[in-house]
Amino acid sequence: MKRKLHRSRLLGLLLLLLTLLMPQLSAQSLAVRGRVVDSKGEAVVGASVVVKGAQGKGSVTNLQGEFSLSGLKKSDVLRVSFIGMKTEEVALEGRQSLTITLQDAATKLDDVVVVGYGVQRKVNLTGAVSSVKGTELARRPVADASQSLQGLVPGLLVTNGSSGRPGGTGTLSLRGQGNLKNNASPYVLVDGVEMALSDVNPNDIESISVLKDAAASAIYGARAAYGVILVTTKKGVAGKIRIGYQGNFGWSAPTLLPEMVNSYEFAKYWNAGVRNSGSPRLYSDQKLELLRRYIADPSSVDPWAELPKNSMMNPAFENSEQGVGNVDYFALHYKDWAHKQSHNLSVSGGSEGTQYYVSGG
């Protein structure tokens, strides 16, 4: 009898403990229902709803944009995503009913592109048009706007001129080399005015549109045979005065310098070429010997020693027999490296009726 009473008391105590723990156990595991809508309040069908950090735990919204999840914790965070919309992360914080709004994500198809007859959204374009924003150009530390386009526009080839002159600009070509003379350059318009792209400061460019095919550039007629590049420069914005500064400092080095032969080898090759052409040779054997000795030991030869007149010399090159030297002009004029720097300052502002933008660099 006592044993039965003892067992009944233990059983009652266990039932009491379970009754007290049930609310806590149920509070730790949440069942959540919710709805995903867009900025207009319409249901988003097929949105992905997953628990952040919990692999394999998630759901997909139905035709009404609704979802349900169970076995969640108060501290869980839901990650909601859908194609073309910004991903949202929502903390549960003990809530069991949610309404989540997804905002449209800005895409490149919504960008405004300048074309020959105004502006259009990229999604509405049917011609081959590429657009580059000025912010992309400003990040490149180059002084020439044509060089800043390298690698940004598909189908646009930018090559550096072979002259090597200071301030030399790059050569632009669309659709490959269009003719035998290799002068198939695109038609460049800056704010509707024809000018060279190298005359524009890259920091003053708002955007560049490259019209590649006939459909996009038909309005320009024959001038657009090799494509059109439309440049839109920055303009003033109403409001407070805005002052902008951009500076670059860097180093540059020659990629490859030609190796020059010394004066002795040059004289031998020159004589061989002249001899093969049937003309009298230019340098005498005595001059060749002096050059050879000078290369071996410059102090052993008087560089300004006068040689007797060479009867085999062409009269047009009489001075070539005077003096001995060995100068590598590439090594003389080019350094191993050189620093370069650029500074640009802009001021903009204005009122509703008048705006201004001034820059210099």
Question: Exposure of 145 by Cβ count < 10 A (0-12 exposed, 13-18 middle, 19+ buried)?
Answer: buried
- What stretch of H or E contains 226? none
| CA pair distance 206, 286, nearest whole angstrom | 67
Asked if residue 294 has pLDDT above 50, the reply is yes
Q: What is the pLDDT of residue 123?
A: 41
Mean pLDDT (whole number) for 47-57: 85
CB neighbour burial string for 40-66, b if at least 16 within 10 angstroms, e if fewer: eeeebeebbbbbeeeeeebbebeeebe
Same domain, 77 and 190: no
Quick one: pLDDT band at residue 109, thresholds 50, 70, 90? very low
Residues 95 and 132 in one domain: no
User: 26: pLDDT confidence band, cut at 50, 70 and 90?
Assistant: very low
Sign of CA dihedral 321, 324, 328, 332: negative
Contact 104, 85 (CB under 8 A): yes
Q: Give a yes or no: residue 347 inside a domain.
A: no
Q: Residue 130 pLDDT more than 80?
A: no
Tell me which of 65-79, 156-170, 202-216, 275-289 is least confident. Answer: 156-170
Residues 148-183 have pLDDT tens digits of 777 787 777 777 665 555 555 677 777 666 555 556
One domain, residues 161 and 82: no
Q: Return d(Cα 127, Cα 214) in angstroms, integer.
A: 8
The confidence score (pLDDT) of residue 49 equals 92
Question: Where does residue 70 fall: left (phi above 0), alpha (psi -120 to 50 degrees), or beta otherwise?
Answer: beta
Residues 121 and 222 in one domain: yes
If asked whether residues 32 and 66 sit together in one domain, one would say yes
**Of the listed ranges 8-12, 267-271, 300-304, the one predicted with least confidence:** 8-12
**247 domain-assigned:** no
CATH of the domain at 46: 2.60.40.10
Range of 308's domain? Answer: 263-333
Establish if 170 belongs to a structural domain.
Answer: yes
pLDDT band at 106 (very low <50, low <70, confident <90, very high): low
- Whole-angstrom CA distances from 339 to 13, 248, 252, 253 are 87, 11, 6, 9
58 lies in the same domain as 88: yes
With H, G, I as helix, E, B as strand and everything else as coil, classify residue 87.
Answer: coil
The per-residue DSSP string of 255-317 comes to S--PPPPPHHHHHHHHHHHHHHTTSPPSS-HHHHHHHHHHHH-GGGS-TTPPPPP-TTS-GGG
The answer to whether residue 350 sits within a structural domain is: no
In the 8-state DSSP scheme, what is residue 32?
E
Give yes or no: residues 145 and 44 share one domain. no
Quick one: 201 and 133 in the same domain? yes
In a domain, 33, yes or no: yes
Checking if the pLDDT of 296 tops 90, the result is no
For residue 320, being part of any structural domain is answered with: yes
Q: Which of 2-6, 36-40, 240-244 has the lowest mean pLDDT?
A: 2-6
Question: Do residues 188 and 119 both lie within one domain?
Answer: yes
**Mean pLDDT lowest among 4-8, 29-33, 88-92:** 4-8
Lowest-confidence segment of 18-22, 259-263, 344-348 by average pLDDT:
18-22
Structure tokens at 352: 């509703």
Q: What is the pLDDT of residue 126?
A: 47
Answer whether residue 252 is part of any domain.
Answer: no
Tell me which residue has tokens 């105590």: 13
What SS3 class is residue 235?
coil
132 plus 224 within the same structural domain:
yes
The CA–CA distances, whole Å, from 194 to 210, 227, 228 equal: 15, 14, 11
Mean pLDDT on 217-239: 80
pLDDT of residue 177: 62
Least confident of 66-70, 128-132, 237-241, 352-356: 128-132
**146/222 same-domain check:** yes
Paired tokens of 104: 């449209």
Residue 14 lies in a domain: no
Query: Based on the domain organization, do 173 and 131 belong to the same domain?
Result: yes
Sheet strand arrangement including 193-194 = 129-133, 205-211, 228-233, 187-190, 193-194
In tens, the pLDDT along 175-187 reads 666 555 556 778 8
Q: Mean pLDDT, to the nearest integer, of 328-343?
A: 82
User: Picking from 118-127, 142-151, 156-165, which range would have the lowest pLDDT averaged per residue?
Assistant: 118-127
Confidence of residue 254 (pLDDT cuts 50, 70, 90): confident
* Mean pLDDT score, 329-344: 82
Of all residues in the chain, what percent carry a pLDDT higher than 90?
Answer: 7
Provide the CATH number for the domain around residue 132.
2.170.130.10
Which of 75, 101, 127 is the last residue before a domain boundary? 101
Q: Average pLDDT, whole number, for the chain? A: 76
| 221 vs 167, residue with greater confidence | 221
Instruction: Count structural domains, the chain.
Output: 3
